[in-house]
A and B are shown apart, each in its own frame.
Chain A
Amino acid sequence: MSLLQAHNLGVTYPGQASPALQHVSLQLGEGDLVVALGPSGCGKSTLLGVLAGFIAPSEGSVSFDGQPVVAPGVERAVVFQHDALLPWLNVADNVAFGLKLQGVDKARRQQVVADTLQLVGLADVGRKYTWQLSGGMRQRVGIARAIASQSKILLMDEPFGALDAFTREQMQQLLLSVWQHAGRGIFLITHDIEEALFLATELVLMSPGPGRIVQRLRPGFSQRYRDGEDVRAIKSDPAFIALREQLLRSLFAQRQAEAA
């Protein structure tokens, strides 16, 4: 059964003629990794904002575990591209931040932090400050922080968007292993086709003006990675390449339709 359900969402920003989001429905279950793919301005962040409870939809509704979502909540932890960590806290305290807010006692916090840092490969940098880390390590801290809190799902807005290609690929694999171990549903936004294809259990392709879902597919490559297949083998598989080209073509077709 799905945890998060979004039904027929629409968002029109004040003073804006056309909606930023229209007729968007999606579901996210415990083991799902739903990826929203689309060019800038197609409403991806708006959609995430609604799911997180930051933005009230003009139409439709979101529910989590049967309860309507009307505000941010601990069961839906958000990871942003950057700027979301607290530079005055060290890495361990950043990761413990959610638990501290929720009043979890210190001994338990330390245990969770140690486990989570281990999981994201940052066991040695707990005492460092976030501004002393590389971009990739900072994103690991962000992911660790979201997992350590008592979240049931993760909402990620272009979490690897600011990273170089090499680090990005490492982070995608890290995310899959975290997803496997932590057993959380993940909703992830990206404008990178390969990333979307590689990670998604379900991929929704979005299009701007108004922001909407134009295609849904179930690529299944992340499952193959979990089953032990090599990344390069997956990404160079003819099936992977064919899907990548098909998505690219439909993105360009959208562009041309708009221009016409």
Chain B
Amino acid sequence: MSANEHILTRVPDTLPASQRARRPLSPTQWSLISIGSITLLWWAITASSLVPALFLPPPGDVLAKFGTLVSSGYMDATLQQHLWASLQRIVLALLAAVAVGIPLGIAIGTYPRVRHLLDPLIEFYRPLPPLAYLPLIVIWFGIGELSKVLLIFLAILAPVLIATAHGVGSVSLVRQQAALSLGASRGQLLRYVILPGALPDILTGIRIGLGAGWSTLVAAELIAATRGLGFMIQSAAQFLVTDVVVLGIIVIALVAFALELGLRRLQRRLTPWHGQTH
């Protein structure tokens, strides 16, 4: 995406000379401006002692805490160990959601009967807050890793499933018919025409799903966890260690954003035609 996207027409030569000299800011520069402003505001509020550090610790304290957490840790584990525990759960859940969601999404997008069959189930569980069915999962599957990963898996599954089904269902009919007239079997049609055609949607579904996965992390790590960023934040909250809470939030946001950026890059590389007029 470029910063110029919102400008519909631009005729540089008609600009006055005073404006022509100024170079437009890059997207990254715009982002840095917003991040910088927020941090500055945060610092100003804490420096003015308007708000006690218990409610909002100063940026400096949080940064110092980062050092402590990396070296000596919190709740018997370093920040890296917490992060690793959470990442493992997210990645495991993501892989499972992709392995289940894509084939099932293809079936839903291809066969109306499968769609009619599964639609109510998906639409039933999808809007439920994970905390609502968390007790059931614990009762059925215990308090081990399985329950934690399952909760995140369910959050990622719905968007992957829905996006795949939509992508498969919206592959242009003439493209499929043309392929059939060139001798494509059902399997070849799926492999060479439908799946690549649905790929942009599938990747978008994975991106949205991953976001949903992160947002259930804290709920998942309510289940008798001893490690994980969600667990770290909850324990810190119980003891009012606000700087660890803030730090945990920032780390989750940064890691999630890094993964999102990676996926966007992957999407651009794998589907460069997406968004082109033809």
- Residue A86 contacts which of B185, B193, B272 (CB distance < 8 angstroms)? B193
Tell whether, in the assembled complex, residue B177 and residue A78 are in contact, meaning their CB atoms are under 8 Å apart: yes
A87 and B273 contacting across the interface, CB-CB below 8 Å = yes
CB-nearest residue of chain A to B277: A131
* Cβ A145 vs Cβ B175 within 8 A: no
Q: B residues 189-205 with Cβ under 8 Å of A?
A: 192-193, 196, 199
Q: Given that A73-B183, A77-B182, A145-B182 are contacting pairs, would A84 and B174 also be in contact in the complex, using a CB cutoff of 8 Å?
A: yes
CB of B167 to closest CB in A, whole Å: 13
Q: Which residue of A lies closest to B189 (CB)?
A: A101
Check A86 against B180 for contact (C-beta < 8 Å).
no
Checking B177, B272, B278 against A138 with a beta-carbon cut-off of 8 angstroms, the contacting residue is: B278
Most central of B178, B192, B272 by chain A CB within 10 Å: B178
Q: Which of A72, A82, A87, A130 contacts B181 (CB 8 A)?
A: A72
Does any Cβ of A come within 8 Å of B88's Cβ? no
CB of B192 within 8 A of CB of A102, answer: no
Q: Does any Cβ of B come within 8 Å of A171's Cβ?
A: no
Q: Which chain B residues lie closer than 8 Å to A86 at the CB level? A: 175, 192-193, 196
Q: Is the CB of A130 within 8 A of B278?
A: yes
How far apart sit A194 and B180, CA to CA, in the bound complex (Å)? 31
Asked if residues A101 and B273 are in contact (CB atoms below 8 Å), the reply is no
Residues on A with beta carbons closer than 8 Å to the beta carbon of B188: 101
Of chain B, the residue at the smallest CB distance from A103 is: B183
Residues of A within 8 A of B179 (CB): 97, 101
Number of interface residues of B (CB under 8 A): 23
Query: For the complex, is A105 an interface residue (Cβ under 8 Å from B)?
Result: no
Instruction: For the complex, give the distance between the alpha carbons of A84 and B174 in Å.
Output: 6
Q: What residues of B have a CB within 8 angstroms of the CB of A130 in the complex?
A: 273, 278
Q: Are A149's CB and B174's CB within 8 A?
A: no
Are the C-beta atoms of B181 and A101 separated by less than 8 Å? no
Q: Is the CB of A83 within 8 A of B175?
A: yes
Find the A residue at minimum CB distance from B183. A74
Complex CA–CA separation, A81 to B271 (angstroms): 23
SS of A interface (majority): loop
B182, closest chain A residue (CB)? A98
A interface residue count range (under 10 / 10 to 19 / 20 to 34 / 35 or more)? 35 or more
A77-98 contacts to B, CB under 8 A, are 77-88, 97-98
Mark out the residues of chain A between 86 and 143 whose CB falls within 8 Å of any chain B CB in the assembled complex. 86-88, 97-98, 101-102, 129-131, 138, 142
Could you tell me the distance in whole angstroms from the C-beta of B33 to the nearest C-beta in chain A? 34
Min distance, Cβ B198 to any Cβ of chain A, angstroms: 11
B149-201 contacts to A (CB < 8 Å): 172, 174-175, 177-185, 188, 192-193, 196, 199
Question: B276 on the interface (CB 8 Å rule)?
Answer: yes
Given A72-B181, A73-B181, A78-B178: A87 and B276 interface contact (C-beta under 8 Å): yes
User: Across the interface, which residues of A come within 8 angstroms of B185, CB to CB?
Assistant: 101
| Alpha-carbon distance between A81 and B173 when the two chains are bound, in angstroms | 12
Assembled-state Cα–Cα distance A80/B176 (Å): 11
Considering only residues 235-278 of chain B, those with a C-beta below 8 Å from chain A are: 271-273, 276-278
Closest to A102 in B: B183
A54 within 8 A of B: yes
Residues of A in contact with B (beta carbons under 8 Å apart): 52-54, 71-74, 76-88, 97-98, 101-102, 129-131, 138, 142, 145-146, 149-151, 155
24 contacts between A and B (CB under 8 A): A52-B177, A54-B177, A71-B180, A73-B183, A76-B181, A77-B181, A79-B178, A80-B174, A80-B178, A82-B278, A83-B174, A84-B178, A86-B193, A88-B271, A88-B273, A97-B192, A101-B182, A129-B273, A131-B273, A131-B277, A131-B278, A138-B278, A142-B178, A149-B182
Extra A-B contacts (10), CB below 8 Å, given A52-B181, A84-B172? A54-B177, A84-B177, A84-B178, A88-B199, A88-B273, A97-B182, A98-B182, A98-B183, A101-B179, A131-B278
